[in-house]
């Protein structure tokens, strides 16, 4: 591992804290608006060093769109690559993550990729489970396995707030149901989706998830397979091409490592075969990515030459 001292991470957090003031905490989901904007944290997990961290690493936050990486892996495990990508595409989009525009012009009307909201709804639709509880329970079980933390659960306040304000996702879902892309009951699908987004973690949990993906889907301590290697590679590829919403190309150039962000301010990142990284800072930039978190990763990558390219 190239970063060998927590003091180095403490200094990186200190240097990037000023960017917090330039962002804005998400408020379109009312419960997210309660986040403390002054929080900034990073954790790095590697086989050699275990977990190094700095900043407010004990702060809990919800996965939001970071969950899309995990549900994609689970859906492919459940129904296979061919079935998943018969209903959702593989291409990046320059549109916002919650846009309906491309659905109206694509034939068939399937979402461009699994990292935008429409694509993620299709993916959750394909996860096995005859009830919301069974689907979400299986997502949680995967997260428990990847983090080695069985205490991780759902923030009910955030889940309820998301469900009550999910009108755009509801519109996306009904549009896709009309065109035969999803077959679940829409309200059950939205309940499962909002609960997966409201799963609550901290930066250390994110870093360990990243390390499992970096380790080809295997537990970093025991090498026990959790996700098949080919699926880990698929989700890492989507993290590069689509993981930072419609700023993914810029992130790939400036930071140059796989990453997936969420509007709670979390970012899951990794360096293949080397480390998993979890970052948290709630104020977002205009694209919906953590502003200080993004800058922190950019500085980290430059300082330790982490680029995968």
- Output the CA angle 234-181-188, nearest 5 degrees: 95
Is a pLDDT exceeding 70 seen at residue 117? yes
Let me know if 45 is a catalytic residue. Answer: no
Residue 123 has pLDDT above 60, yes or no: yes
- Does residue 9 have a pLDDT over 90? yes
Q: Is 263 a catalytic residue?
A: yes
Phi, psi angles (nearest 5°) of residue 280:
-145, 130
d(CA 307, CA 256): 5
For residue 112, pLDDT beyond 60: yes
What is the distance between the alpha carbons of residues 136 and 121, in angstroms, rounded to a whole number?
13
DSSP calls for 17-74: GGGGGGSB---SSGGGGGS-TT--EEEEEETTTEEEEEESTT--EE-GGGHHHHHHHH
pLDDT higher than threshold 80 for residue 264: yes
Q: Is 131 noted as a catalytic residue in this protein?
A: no
pLDDT at 98: 55
Convert the pLDDT of each residue in 276-291 to its tens digit. Answer: 999 999 999 999 999 9
Supply the pLDDT for residue 48: 86
The reported pLDDT for the residue numbered 129 is: 96
- Known binder of ligand: residue 263? yes
- What pTM does this model have? 0.94
- Residue 2 — very low, low, confident or very high, per pLDDT cuts 50/70/90? low
- Higher per-residue pLDDT: 194 or 99: 194
What's the pLDDT tens digit per position in 38-67? 999 999 999 888 899 999 999 999 999 999
pLDDT given for residue 93 in this prediction: 72
Q: Which two tokens stand for residue 272?
A: 């293949």
What's the pLDDT score for residue 92?
A: 83
Residues in the chain: 309
- DSSP state, 185? -
**296: nearest Cα among 3, 2, 5, 14:** 14
Please state which of the ranges 5-19, 90-104, 246-260 shows the lowest mean pLDDT.
Answer: 90-104
The answer to whether the annotation marks 245 as part of a ligand binding site is yes
Catalytic residue selected from 13, 45, 53, 65: 65
Given a cut of 90, whether residue 184 has pLDDT beyond it is: no
pLDDT at 58: 93
pLDDT at 307 over 70: yes
Q: Which domains does the chain have, with CATH numbers?
A: 6-64+199-304 (3.40.710.10), 67-197 (1.10.1500.10)
117 is in an annotated binding site: yes
In the 3-class helix/strand/coil scheme, how is 239-289 assigned residue by residue?
A: HHHHCCHHHHHHHHHHCCCCEEECCCCEEEEEECCCEEEEEECCCECCCCC
The verdict on whether 193 is a catalytic residue reads yes
C-alpha distances in Å from residue 46, one per residue of 154, 265, 300: 27, 23, 15
Does the active-site annotation cover 280?
no
CB-neighbour burial class of residue 240 (10 A; exposed 0-12, middle 13-18, buried 19+): buried
Distance separating alpha carbons of residues 270 and 306, to the nearest angstrom: 9
């Amino acid at each position: 591992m190239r970063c060998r001292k927590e003091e180095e991470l403490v200094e990186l957090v200190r240097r990037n804290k000023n960017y917090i003031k330039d962002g804005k905490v998400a408020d379109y989901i009312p419960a997210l608006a309660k986040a403390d904007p002054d929080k900034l944290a990073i954790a790095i997990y590697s086989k050699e060093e275990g977990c190094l961290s700095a900043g407010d690493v004990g702060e809990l936050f919800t996965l939001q769109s970071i969950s899309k990486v995990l549900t994609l892996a689970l859906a492919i495990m459940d129904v296979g690559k061919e079935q998943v990508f018969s209903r959702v595409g593989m291409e990046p989009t320059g549109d916002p993550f919650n846009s309906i525009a491309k659905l109206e012009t694509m034939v068939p009307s399937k979402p461009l990729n699994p990292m935008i909201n429409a694509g993620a709804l299709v993916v959750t639709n394909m996860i096995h489970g005859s009830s919301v509880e069974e689907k979400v329970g299986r997502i949680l079980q995967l997260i428990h396995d990847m983090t080695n933390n069985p205490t991780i659960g759902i923030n009910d306040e955030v889940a309820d707030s998301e469900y009550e304000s999910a009108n755009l996702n509801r519109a996306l879902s009904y549009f896709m149901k009309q065109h035969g892309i999803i077959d679940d009951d829409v309200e059950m699908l939205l309940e499962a989706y909002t609960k997966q987004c409201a799963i609550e973690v901290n930066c250390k949990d994110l870093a360990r998830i990243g390390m499992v993906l970096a380790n080809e889907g295997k537990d970093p301590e025991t090498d026990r397979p959790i996700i098949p290697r080919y699926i880990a590679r698929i989700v890492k590829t989507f993290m590069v091409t689509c993981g930072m919403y419609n700023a993914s190309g810029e992130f790939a150039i400036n930071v140059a490592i796989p990453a997936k962000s969420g509007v709670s301010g979390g970012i899951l990142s990794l360096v293949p075969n080397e480390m998993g990284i979890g970052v948290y800072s709630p104020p977002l930039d205009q694209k919906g990515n953590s502003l200080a978190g993004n800058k922190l990763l950019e500085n980290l990558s430059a300082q330790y030459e982490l680029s995968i390219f």
